[in-house]
Amino acid sequence: MTAPLSPLIMVEDVQNRLGETFDDTERLQVESLIDFASARLRAYPLDIDARIAQGSLSSVLVTGVLVTAVARAVDAIKIGLRVRSEQYPEISTTYSDVDPSLIYFSPADLELLDPSVGVKFGGAFSIVPG
């Protein structure tokens, strides 16, 4: 049996991006999100680890994509998983819907890591050779 792969980013990467320091409870949440995000990214047919080791994929790009996904999830948790809007007498704020898994990669995120996986152009009537 092989040992589990280590996460592709650390809690400190997320803290640096967000400019905050997590308490113990938040740190556990973020570590869990990082583990899930790393596993989810590795589930794509991108061969992340081998390409980083070969030098054909920048570890900075991988870190950026993962930190962005985890930061979105942290933000969603802080706002509230089912909260779509807040309204007070002076202000109204509407939030975007959160992906049910909390961790997701946009087509633009994936395109940074492999242009053939990312954004596809065309509409409902486009024919894309497979």
Nearest to 9, CA basis, from 55, 56, 52, 54 = 52
Give SS3 for 19: coil
Residue-number span of the structural domain to which 26 is assigned: 11-82+99-112
Please tell me which residue, 98 or 76, carries the higher pLDDT value.
76
- pLDDT confidence of residue 6: 92
Is residue 57 in some structural domain? yes
Rg value, the chain, Cα: 17
Is residue 93 in some structural domain? no
Give the Cα separation of 40 and 6 in Å (integer). Answer: 13
Tokens standing for residue 130: 């497979």
pLDDT in tens, 52-71: 999 999 999 999 999 999 99
> Which residue bears the tokens 């994936």?
110
One-letter identity of residue 24: D
> Taking the CA of residue 39 as centre, how many other CA atoms within 13 Å lie in the half-sphere pointing to its CB?
8
With 0-12 / 13-18 / 19 or more C-beta atoms within 10 angstroms meaning exposed / middle / buried, residue 30 is buried
Whats the size of the chain, residue-wise? 130
Cβ proximity of 111 and 118 under 8 Å: yes
Nearest to 65, CA basis, from 54, 52, 55, 77 = 52
Is residue 59 in some structural domain? yes
Total of domains in the chain: 1
Percent of the chain with pLDDT over 70: 78
Is residue 106 in some structural domain? yes
- pLDDT confidence of residue 82: 64
Percent of the chain with pLDDT over 90: 55
Highest mean pLDDT of the ranges 8-12, 46-50, 98-102: 8-12
Weakest mean pLDDT among 33-37, 95-99, 108-112: 95-99
- The predicted model scores a pTM of 0.79
